[in-house]
């Protein structure tokens, strides 16, 4: 019987702040497959996340029984490549002042200090932010546009650049994209559609470059919408989910666990021949060319 077995593998899942989004679902699937899991969480949510964990308010259960055990929790702000890039006003912010090594290089250094090198087999990029996401692209400022690309796309390049040397040959990187990279999604603005397009393009190039340099694979998942806490910043996320339920090839919305399981597959030896790929996990919505009308689907 074929099975996903990540026993003895270590994963870093970047972009986890609660147990409701895709990042947590991927974390849970990796843990279910036997991987030890470290987490990178945004400094402004770090205290809330750790307190919620300490109070037993996160769903740590695994489908097969047992519980998720997080090996390490690192503060990570992926808009900063190195600690010296962090501006003074951020360093002195009350949400950051007690933390250190939260740049991408800082977390890579902490990981190497904790586990040696090489020490990593799976890297998950579950990061996206667009400060002007509710603005139409045509109304987006240059600063808002570049902020979206920095946090949501370049962060993947920087992470592969800095974590790649810590990864064992045969390792895997997976990120999360969205159909707005390919098609117009009204309401998904602020440069986020451009950021997802860049993310998918960079996935292909990084698959070649990181494959040759580090011997690792790089893929992305184009997931359907999920009404997570982070996605609610879009403002229309519930309507987007409802539209997918009505118009996808399979008339339902995908679940977080379905995306998590797809990510675990891409990070496993079963997907050893897959790299540079954008895998759609959206119940086939991406394949549709027109709205699914009731009278057509009933024929």
The answer to whether the CB of 249 falls within 8 A of the CB of 14 is: no
Cα separations in angstroms, 256 against 70, 72, 228, 260, 263: 19, 23, 9, 6, 11
23: CB partners within 8 A, 6+ apart: 13, 14, 15, 16, 17, 124, 126, 176
Active site residue 188: yes
User: Which of the pair, 157 or 295, is modelled with greater confidence?
Assistant: 157
- pLDDT of 228: 62
Cα separations in angstroms, 11 against 44, 65, 179, 217, 225: 23, 20, 26, 14, 24
Active site residue 154: no
Q: Mapping DSSP to helix (H, G, I), strand (E, B) and coil, where does residue 127 land?
A: coil
Q: Which two tokens stand for residue 191?
A: 């440069």
Work out the average pLDDT over 214-223.
98
Alpha carbon distance 151, 78 (integer Å): 6
Region of residue 117 (phi > 0: left; psi between -120 and 50: alpha; otherwise: beta) = beta
Residue 293, pLDDT > 80, answer no
- Catalytic choice (102, 188, 244, 285): 188
Alpha carbon distance 220, 200 (integer Å): 7
- Number of other residues whose CB lies within 10 A of the CB of residue 229: 11
Q: Which two tokens stand for residue 18?
A: 């609660």
Residue 235, pLDDT > 80, answer no
- pLDDT of 240: 84
- pLDDT of 50: 96
The answer to whether the CB of 257 falls within 8 A of the CB of 281 is: no
Q: Which two tokens stand for residue 262?
A: 């797809």
Least confident of 172-176, 228-232, 240-244, 267-271: 228-232
* Tens-place pLDDT, residues 125-143: 999 999 999 999 999 999 9
Alpha carbon distance 279, 28 (integer Å): 19
Q: Mapping DSSP to helix (H, G, I), strand (E, B) and coil, where does residue 115 land?
A: helix
- Catalytic choice (154, 178, 244, 285): 178
> Residue 292 — pLDDT band, cuts 50, 70, 90?
confident
Report the chain's mean pLDDT, rounded to a whole number. Answer: 94
Fold of the 10-284 domain? Rossmann fold (3.40.50)
Q: Mapping DSSP to helix (H, G, I), strand (E, B) and coil, where does residue 176 land?
A: strand
* Tens-place pLDDT, residues 53-96: 999 999 999 998 999 999 999 999 999 999 999 999 999 999 99
> Residue 38 — pLDDT band, cuts 50, 70, 90?
very high
């Amino acid at each position: 019987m074929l099975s996903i077995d990540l026993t003895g593998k270590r994963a870093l899942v970047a972009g986890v702040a609660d147990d409701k989004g895709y990042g947590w679902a991927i974390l849970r699937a990796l843990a279910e497959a036997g991987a030890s899991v470290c987490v990178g969480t945004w400094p402004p949510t770090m205290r809330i996340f750790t307190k919620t964990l300490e109070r037993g308010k996160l769903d740590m259960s695994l489908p097969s029984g047992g519980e998720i055990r997080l090996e390490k929790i690192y503060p990570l702000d992926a808009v900063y490549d190195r600690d010296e890039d962090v501006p003074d006003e951020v360093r002195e912010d009350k949400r950051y002042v007690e933390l250190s090594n939260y740049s991408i290089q800082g977390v890579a250094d902490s990981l190497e200090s904790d586990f040696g090198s090489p020490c990593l087999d799976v890297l998950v990029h579950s990061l996206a932010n667009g400060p002007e996401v509710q603005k139409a692209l045509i109304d987006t400022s240059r600063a808002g546009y570049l902020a979206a690309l920095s946090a949501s796309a370049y962060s993947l390049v920087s992470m592969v650049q800095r974590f790649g040397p810590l990864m064992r040959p045969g390792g895997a990187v997976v990120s999360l994209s969205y159909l707005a990279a390919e098609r117009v999604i009204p309401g998904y603005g602020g440069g986020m559609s451009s950021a997802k397009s860049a993310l998918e393009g960079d996935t292909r190039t990084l698959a070649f470059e990181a494959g040759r340099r580090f011997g690792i694979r790089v893929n992305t998942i184009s997931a359907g919408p999920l009404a997570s806490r982070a996605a609610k910043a879009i403002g229309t996320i519930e309507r987007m989910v409802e539209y997918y339920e009505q118009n996808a090839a399979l008339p339902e919305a995908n679940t977080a666990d379905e995306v998590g399981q797809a990510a675990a597959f891409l990070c496993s030896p079963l997907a050893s021949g897959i790299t540079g790929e954008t895998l759609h996990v959206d119940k086939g919505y991406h394949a549709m060319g027109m709205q699914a009308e009731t009278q057509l689907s009933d024929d």
